[in-house]
């Protein structure tokens, strides 16, 4: 499935967070959402990205954003990741790729010349009406909050 385009309605989903609670996109209607997909908990780049969002969480919250991270990791692994890095936002487990496939972020990757299938790091900014306003196909993990806030300002 292709990555949903900017200006389109974000695909609906329901997932289980690091505390075992169900979270759905429809329950977030009326909120701006940073929906970020990342390959794996506790790996260097994923940790950089999560910590950047954590360290700037106040700025994101002040801008009205709800932050949700999604990876194929299990609920228990998300809980360890959240605790280890004191992450103040929701992490959804998607080991069956139900949400990942809806957003088209599973595909061909390459590392050191080896090709394989994996999660493609991607972030979606979704407005209060559930419309995708911005897609980051290659987010900068160390400057991700800055990217998000600058993009939202540009959107107006």
**What are the residue numbers of the active site?**
46
Other Cβ atoms closer than 10 A to 150: 11
Q: Which of 71, 63, 59 is CA-nearest to residue 120? A: 71
**How many alpha carbons lie under 13 Å from residue 4 in its C-beta half-sphere?**
21
Name the percent of the chain in helix, strand, coil, to the closest 5.
Answer: 35, 30, 35
The C-alpha R_g of the chain, in whole angstroms, comes to 14
- Contact 87/56 with Cβ under 8 angstroms? no
Other Cβ atoms closer than 10 A to 64: 11
Tally the residues of the chain: 156
Which structure tokens are listed for 105? 């972020």
């Amino acid at each position: 499935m292709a990555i949903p385009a900017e200006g389109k309605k974000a695909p609906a989903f329901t997932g289980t967070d690091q505390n075992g609670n169900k979270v759905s996109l429809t329950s977030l209607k009326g909120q701006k959402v940073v929906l970020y997909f990342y390959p794996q908990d506790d790996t260097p780049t994923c940790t950089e990205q999560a910590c950047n969002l954590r360290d700037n969480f106040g700025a994101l919250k002040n801008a009205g954003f709800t932050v949700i991270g999604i990876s194929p990791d299990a609920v228990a692994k998300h809980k360890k990741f959240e605790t280890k890095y004191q992450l103040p936002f929701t992490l959804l487990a998607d080991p069956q790729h139900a949400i990942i496939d809806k957003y088209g972020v599973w595909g061909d990757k390459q590392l050191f010349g080896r090709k394989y299938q994996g999660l493609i790091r991607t972030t979606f900014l979704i407005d209060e009406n559930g419309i995708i306003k911005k897609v980051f196909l290659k987010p900068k993990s160390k400057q991700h909050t800055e990217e998000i806030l600058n993009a939202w300002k540009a959107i107006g």
